[in-house]
């Protein structure tokens, strides 16, 4: 997400490098380029104009420091104003002091509401909060079935919908069940339409009256650009919205919705939905998104993902084995699988500074290499994984055939494995970082698996 805008902004700052100092002339030239980049990213015209006015006033008024790169100074001003326009601070869903907290989801059909409902329930589950999923989308049986399947597949509580009832009555029944069964949260999905109409709004208003929700969350398709702003304004005017979720941000989202919605509606963005899987959900942090937009990565989000998904005890065990030169191919495979819990290689690289510059073909090659390595190791016997030195030509041919690869691929893996163990022996010591990179990963922006 935002790759196009990020590359444009980087190109603009690159032109300023080496010009000695910031001047009104080069600032105005840079801002003209930034304006084009923002409009191409489908940022609302009024938002772009206000943003650039503030950047210009601050940049021209800022004291020029001798020896400081003018591009860095302008980038700092742009970063600070991006943080401001995106909301300054993170705004999580507020829990009610008296359970259950009721979260009402609204939005257009196709915005990703149903999938987000399941993602939000899982998000609460990770925070040890029990959430009940329910829906009043009686117009689309497929949406009800989708929510049921998502709930059952992820061990989430789901209340079946009686499609003969009115949405308001369904809402009251769901709230009563959430109270009776002691749930911490009720997440209630509503019906959408392809466009905003009076019937949809009337239905949503009736459900809101019945539920008296603590949070009304608008779910918006992040790929719709300025249309997302119109949707946000309409729902906020008719219903009153407490927060916004941007979905489909893993697709060809140009960034305009994220930069415009907060500014135009005054409502905070709470989450970014970044994929179809139920765990593909990020809390929204304005400073982190501003950092991504300027190509500086988002290491904090990567760390949070690692803390939530990686087995730290297993990681320590693997590091100890490396230091003792006691690593086996089973361990090699185990750490690869741990890393895969964080998402695809492309997703991980995007969170690293400069990671967006890496060609998607290269990250795809890395993904293919990881799959190939896994297939080769799984084609070995337990004894061969523990003692790869027993692998003679005959065994290698059998492993290559069993993994659908070539003998040279098997040899390449074994060479890489030997290199890791050799380097580990040389780098013994409590403060030294241990490399851990299967073939195909080295040279990719300096990224390495690390112990």
Cis preceding-peptide flag for 100 (omega within 30 of 0): yes
Q: In a 3-state reduction of DSSP, which class is residue 269?
A: strand
Tell me, what's the pLDDT at 150? 93
Provide the token pair at 315.
């990681």
Rounded-to-integer distance, Cα 100 and Cα 397, Å = 61
Rounded-to-integer distance, Cα 151 and Cα 125, Å = 12
Q: Encode burial over 130-159: b for 16+ CB neighbours within 10 A, e otherwise.
A: bbbbbbbbbbeeebbebbbebbeeeebbbb
Among candidate residues 245, 255, 24, the one with its CA nearest the CA of residue 118? 245
Tell me, what's the pLDDT at 193? 78
CA distances from 323 to 24, 67, 268, 387, 421 (A): 57, 44, 47, 18, 9
- For 162-218, write each residue's pLDDT tens digit: 888 999 999 999 999 999 999 999 999 988 877 788 888 898 999 999 999 999 999
**Helix runs in 298-433, H state only:** 299-309, 312-323, 329-340, 345-350, 360-378, 382-386, 393-403, 407-426
Residue ranges in the chain whose pLDDT is less than 70: 1-4, 18-22, 61-70, 251-255, 295-326, 339-367, 423-451
Instruction: Tell me if 177 sits within 8 A of 169, measured CB to CB.
Output: no
Element (H, E) at 449: strand 449-450
Instruction: Tell me if 257 sits within 8 A of 220, measured CB to CB.
Output: yes
Task: Break the chain down into helix, strand, coil percent, rounded to 5.
Answer: 55, 10, 35
Element (H, E) at 76: helix 70-86
Residues contacting 181, CB < 8 A, separation 6+: 132
Rounded-to-integer distance, Cα 410 and Cα 8, Å = 42
Q: What is the DSSP letter of 357?
A: G
Residues contacting 3, CB < 8 A, separation 6+: 356
Element (H, E) at 435: strand 435-436
For the chain, give every domain's residue range.
Answer: 3-86, 101-296, 308-450
Tell me, what's the pLDDT at 91? 86
Instruction: Tell me if 251 sits within 8 A of 276, measured CB to CB.
Output: no
Rounded-to-integer distance, Cα 309 and Cα 293, Å = 25
CATH 3.30.450.40 correct for 101-296: no
pTM: 0.65
Tell me, what's the pLDDT at 306? 53
* Residues facing 154 on adjacent strands: none
Provide the token pair at 246.
């941007």
CATH class belonging to 3-86: mainly alpha
CA 360 centroid distance within chain: 17
Rounded-to-integer distance, Cα 372 and Cα 391, Å = 18
Domains 3-86 and 101-296 share a fold: no
CATH class belonging to 308-450: mainly alpha
Tell me, what's the pLDDT at 258? 75
Element (H, E) at 158: strand 157-158
């Amino acid at each position: 997400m935002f790759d196009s805008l990020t590359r444009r902004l980087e190109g603009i700052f690159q032109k300023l490098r080496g010009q000695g100092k910031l001047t009104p002339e080069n600032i105005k030239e840079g801002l003209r380029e930034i304006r084009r980049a923002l409009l191409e990213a489908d940022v609302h015209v009024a938002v772009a104009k206000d943003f650039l006015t503030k950047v210009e006033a601050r940049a021209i008024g800022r004291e020029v420091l001798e020896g400081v790169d003018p591009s860095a100074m302008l980038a700092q001003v742009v970063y600070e104003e991006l943080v401001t326009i995106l909301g300054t601070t993170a705004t999580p869903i507020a829990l009610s002091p008296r359970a259950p907290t009721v979260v009402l989801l609204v939005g257009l059909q196709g915005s990703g509401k149903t999938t987000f409902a399941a993602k939000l329930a899982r998000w609460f589950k990770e925070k040890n909060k029990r959430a009940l999923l329910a829906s009043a989308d009686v117009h689309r049986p497929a949406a009800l079935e989708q929510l049921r399947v998502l709930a059952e597949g992820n061990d989430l509580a789901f209340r079946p919908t009686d499609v003969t009832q009115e949405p308001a009555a369904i809402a009251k029944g769901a709230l009563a069940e959430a109270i009776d069964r002691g749930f911490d949260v009720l997440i209630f999905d509503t019906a959408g339409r392809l466009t905003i109409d009076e019937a949809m709004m009337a239905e949503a208003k009736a459900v809101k009256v019945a539920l008296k929700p603590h949070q009304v969350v608008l779910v918006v398709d992040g790929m719709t650009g300025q249309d997302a702003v119109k949707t946000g304004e309409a729902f906020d005017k008719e219903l009153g919205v407490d927060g916004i979720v941007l979905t489909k941000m893993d697709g060809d989202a140009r960034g305009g919705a994220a930069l415009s919605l907060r500014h135009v509606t005054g409502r905070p963005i709470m989450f970014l939905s970044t994929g179809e899987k139920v765990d593909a959900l990020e809390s929204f942090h304005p400073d982190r998104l501003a950092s991504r937009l300027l190509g500086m990565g988002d290491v904090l989000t990567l760390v949070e993902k690692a803390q939530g998904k990686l087995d730290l005890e297993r990681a320590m065990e693997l590091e100890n084995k490396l230091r003792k030169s006691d690593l086996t191919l089973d361990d090699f495979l185990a750490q690869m699988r741990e890393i895969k819990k964080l998402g695809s290689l492309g997703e991980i690289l995007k969170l690293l500074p400069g990671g967006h510059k890496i060609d998607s073909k290269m990250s795809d090659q890395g993904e293919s290499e990881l799959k190939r390595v896994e297939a080769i190791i799984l084609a070995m016997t337990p004894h061969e994984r523990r003692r790869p030195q027993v692998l003679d030509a005959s065994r290698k041919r059998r492993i290559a055939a069993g993994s659908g690869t070539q003998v040279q691929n098997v040899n390449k893996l074994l060479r890489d494995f030997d290199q890791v163990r050799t380097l580990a022996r040389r780098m013994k010591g409590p403060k030294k970082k241990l490399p851990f990179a299967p073939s195909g990963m080295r040279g990719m922006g300096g990224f390495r698996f690390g112990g």
